[in-house]
Amino acid sequence: MQTERLDVLIYAHDGRGLGHASRSIGVGMALRRLYPELKVLFVSGCSLSQELIGKAPLDWLKLPSYATRVVAGKSIGVAGKSLFTDTQLGWLRSKEMAHLISLYRPRLVLVDHTPQGKHRELIPALLADKGSDALWVLGVRGVVGAVAQARSEFAGNLFKDHYHALLWYGDSAVLGNSHCEQLQHQYNTEPVECGYVVRLAEYAHWNGRLFEQEGVIAGTVSIPWLGEKTIDFLLILARVLAKIPQSYGDWRIFVDMDNNSDVCQKIRKLFSETGNCQLEPPGERYVSALLHSRIAVIYGGYNSLMDVIHANIPALVVLREMQDEEQQIHLQKLQESLGEALVTVAESLLSAEQLERLLLAHLQRKLNPAVALHAGGAAYAAEYISRLLAGNP
C-alpha cells in the first residue's frame, strides 16, 4: 500500500562534535513550530539527538554512528560503536539512506554541510531519486573551512545535477561576503543568507520549564568530544577550579564520555576530588546550567558559540589545533563584533596561571546587552523551505 508522502526529511552526518546535527535539529524544530501541519523527520547517527531535541515534537531516526579520531589536527575515520569500519559503515548507510528516501518519498530533503554526505552515503539516494519531483536542499555553516569534501569538483557537480537550493547559515554583517562568494563559486548557485541557526532559541520554545533552577552557577564547561590534548586541559582545569572561591558558585562540567576507558575514569576521578564541581553527561540539564551561569568555558564549534551568544554570558573559548581552521576563522570574525564577550585560548598552550587569571576576570565581567547578530536562521530556513514546497521560493 502506498503511504502518504513525508514533507521534509532532514539529514545530518555525524562523527565529531554536534554542529551538523544541532543546526539541522534547529531548523527541524522551527518547521514544527511554524508549520505544524508538515510531516518532518530528522535522520542522523548523532547519539545525542534526543538531548538536542528535548520535548519538541520533532521525530527522528537513529543510524549507526560514524566515529573519528583526531591525529595531528586531522580527523581520521575509525570503527563506530557498531564496530563496522568507517568504509563499511559508509556503504551500509548509503543503502539505508536510499531505502529511506524510497520509502518515505519526501517532497524535500535538507542536507547539512556536503551534498554527498560524510562518506558519499547520499549518492545512491540521489541517483535513485533523479527525475522525481523531490527538492534537494543543501545547508552550509557560516565558515566552511578547508574541508576537502565540500570544496571538491565532485561535490560541485553533484550539487549541480541534483540540488535545487543552497542555504547559508551565517550573517554577512559579521562574516563579510567572502564566504557566500566562495559558496557561489563552488556550487554555481547564489546562496540564500538565512542568518545563524541558534538551536537553543528553538529549544526554549518547547522546553521552557527545564530552565527553572534556583541559585547562580559560577560556570558551565562544555566539552563535546575528547581530542588529543583535552585530557591535559582538563588536568589544568580541575586544578584551577579547586582554587576559585566557592562564593562564585559551583561549576557544571558536561563531557561526552560514555565508556569506561582509562581516560574517562581519569576524568571522573579528577573532578570527584574537586568539591565545587559536578561532572555530567550532555543532556537537558546543560541548557538550564548554561542559562544560570555567570560564564561559560566552551570549545569553538558553531553550536557552542551560538549557545553562549544566546545566553549572553562571557565565554572562554578553547581552540584545538585543527587543520581546517574553520573555528579560528569564525571566532576571529565573531570577536570583531562581540569584543570581550569571547576570549580565546589555545588548548595546547594554556597554563594554569593563565586559565585562573582569565576565569577570575570573566567572573567579574558585566556584558552589555546582546549584540545585534542575525540569529533567526532556523526560522528563516523553515520559511524558505515552506515557500519551496509551495512552489514560491
Higher-scoring residue by pLDDT: 233, 393: 233
Grid coordinates representing 50 are: 534526543
* pTM, full prediction: 0.90
Q: What is the pLDDT of residues 148-188, one digit of tens each?
A: 566 788 889 999 999 999 999 999 998 899 888 899 999 99
Q: What is the pLDDT of residues 223-237, one digit of tens each?
A: 887 777 788 888 899
Under the banding of pLDDT at 50, 70 and 90, the label for residue 279 is: confident
- The domains of the chain, with CATH numbers, are 8-197+376-390 (3.40.50.2000), 208-363 (3.40.50.2000)
Which residue, chain included where needed, has cell 549518492?
A: 123
Q: What is the pLDDT of residues 67-91, one digit of tens each?
A: 666 555 555 666 667 778 878 888 8
Q: What is the pLDDT of residues 241-276, one digit of tens each?
A: 989 998 899 999 998 766 557 777 777 887 777 778
Under the banding of pLDDT at 50, 70 and 90, the label for residue 323 is: low
What is the chain's mean pLDDT, rounded? 86
Q: What is the pLDDT of residue 266?
A: 78
Q: According to DSSP H, which parts of the chain are helical?
A: 19-34, 49-53, 86-104, 123-129, 148-151, 153-162, 172-175, 178-187, 199-207, 230-241, 262-272, 285-291, 302-311, 326-338, 352-363, 377-390
Cα 184 from Cα 322, distance rounded (Å): 25
Label residue 1 exposed, middle or buried (CB < 10 Å: 0-12, 13-18, 19+).
exposed
Q: What is the pLDDT of residue 87?
A: 82
**Axis-axis angle for helices 302-311, 199-207 (nearest 10):** 60
Q: What is the pLDDT of residue 275?
A: 74
For residue 140, is pLDDT > 90?
yes
